[in-house]
């Protein structure tokens, strides 16, 4: 947990890039076994190591919004990401003068978009010291620094008084929590009575079979490639929200209504359409290979830190796991829920 004597608004220094190789090795060690207990018991270290190592790769391949999106066939990936954020924001019932919390905000792409869309002030909660300075830099560059800020803190222990925020949301972030009930209970505490918590959660589906060796292998690849201590089923997420005190008003796996498969942007064998989405070339098989050899060359000549190839390797493994999980229907990244904190 965070030291309460540390100002949560002041980011700490990220790890020394010269230690990338050691950090990568230590991170990978957490995933040697299928048992989740070591990872959930050390979730802060697991998640921070992952984002220390992976954030630059995320921005290179994905932009400022590190999430998937419900997509129609006529949309580019970027258009669908913005619409996905607006859909969630529309469930919050907020406007100018309201305070919103983004739990697990990354470098703040969604919070800047949602602040602009709703007119509300949005605070990003993030426990990663590498991402917060980057987010603050992007806030200044985009002119969103007056309505967007950050708190460095663990979402299992949010350092604000009860009933601080008019609404709370999370986009593919609380999947990093070791305990869903504990995480949702903290969100419930800081939310005002009558306020809405809207969420896109990563989950195993009813198709997942824990006795199927291939399914377990895919699960493990998803965990290591995405910094996840564990993986929860959709019904576990729903139960956890109720146990935390929420009244669930909406729940739906949005994967089922999309025209384009959620994993399509990272499927290396998909058809690339440069006239629609030129920059998605980076995640095609050719683009992956170019990135692989570029990282190898930069590491060899000392421009990229030692261990960068290891990071590229486990990210590729994670992407392959997500594609396989999506194609088999055993994993979703778009389990949408909207839940209200009762007035009494």
Q: Rounded to 5 degrees, what are φ and ψ at 17?
A: -60, -20
Of the residues 172, 186, 221, 299, which is catalytic?
172
Nearest to 337 by CA among 229, 175, 189, 225: 175
What's the count of helices (H) and strands (E) in the chain, helices before strands? 12, 7
Six-digit token pair at 189? Answer: 């505490």
Percent of the chain with pLDDT over 70: 84
The sheet that has 99-103: what strands, in order across it? 148-152, 121-126, 99-103, 165-171, 191-204, 331-340, 247-253
pLDDT at residue number 303 = 62
Mean pLDDT of the chain: 87
* Cα 145 to Cα 231: distance, rounded to the nearest angstrom: 35
Query: What is the rounded average pLDDT of the residues 123-144?
Result: 88
pLDDT at residue number 111 = 95
Q: Does residue 216 surpass a pLDDT of 50?
A: yes
Six-digit token pair at 83? Answer: 């619409």
pLDDT at residue number 284 = 67
Label residue 57 exposed, middle or buried (CB < 10 Å: 0-12, 13-18, 19+).
Answer: middle
pLDDT at residue number 267 = 87
Asked about 172 being catalytic, the answer comes back as yes
User: Please, what is the end-to-end C-alpha distance for the chain in angstroms?
Assistant: 30
Q: Does residue 261 surpass a pLDDT of 80?
A: yes
Six-digit token pair at 205? Answer: 């589906």
Nearest to 64 by CA among 52, 53, 55: 55
Calculate the dihedral angle through the C-alpha atoms of 235, 238, 242, 246, rounding to the nearest 10 degrees: 180
pLDDT at residue number 38 = 95
Instruction: Categorize the per-residue pLDDT at 54 as very low, low, confident or very high, splitting at 50, 70 and 90.
Output: confident
38-42, 57-61, 192-196, 216-220: least confident range: 57-61
* Cα 339 to Cα 317: distance, rounded to the nearest angstrom: 34
pLDDT at residue number 3 = 33
pLDDT, tens only, 175-187: 999 999 999 999 9
């Amino acid at each position: 947990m965070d030291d309460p004597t540390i100002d949560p608004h002041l980011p700490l220094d990220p790890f020394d890039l010269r230690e990338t190789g050691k950090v990568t090795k230590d991170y990978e060690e957490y995933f040697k076994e299928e048992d989740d207990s070591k990872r959930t018991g050390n979730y802060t270290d697991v998640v921070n190591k992952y984002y220390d190592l992976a954030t630059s790769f995320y921005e290179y391949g994905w932009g400022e919004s590190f999430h998937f999106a419900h997509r129609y066939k006529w949309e580019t990936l970027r258009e669908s990401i913005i619409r996905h954020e607006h859909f969630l924001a529309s469930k919050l019932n907020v406007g100018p003068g309201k305070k919103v919390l983004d739990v697990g905000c990354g470098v703040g792409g969604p919070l800047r978009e949602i602040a602009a869309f709703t007119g509300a002030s949005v605070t990003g909660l993030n426990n990663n010291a590498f991402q917060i300075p980057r987010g603050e830099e992007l806030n200044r560059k985009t002119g969103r620094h007056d309505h967007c800020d950050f708190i460095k803190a663990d979402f299992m222990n949010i350092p604000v008084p009860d009933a601080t925020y008019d609404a709370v949301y999370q986009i593919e972030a609380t999947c990093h929590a070791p305990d869903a009930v504990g995480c949702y209970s903290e969100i419930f505490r800081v939310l005002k009575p009558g306020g809405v918590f809207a969420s896109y959660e990563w989950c195993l589906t009813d198709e997942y079979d824990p006795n199927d060796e291939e399914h377990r292998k895919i699960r493990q690849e998803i965990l290591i490639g995405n910094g996840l201590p564990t993986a929860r089923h959709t019904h576990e997420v729903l139960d956890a929200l109720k146990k935390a005190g929420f009244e669930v008003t909406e729940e739906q796996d949005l994967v089922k209504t999309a025209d384009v498969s959620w994993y399509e942007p990272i499927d290396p064998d998909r058809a690339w359409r440069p006239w629609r989405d030129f920059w998605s070339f980076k995640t095609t098989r050719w683009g992956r290979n170019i990135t692989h050899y570029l990282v190898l060359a930069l590491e060899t000549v000392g421009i990229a830190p030692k261990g960068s190839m290891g990071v590229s390797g486990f990210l590729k493994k994670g992407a392959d796991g997500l594609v396989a999980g999506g194609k088999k229907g055993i994993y979703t990244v778009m389990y949408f829920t909207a839940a209200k904190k009762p007035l009494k």
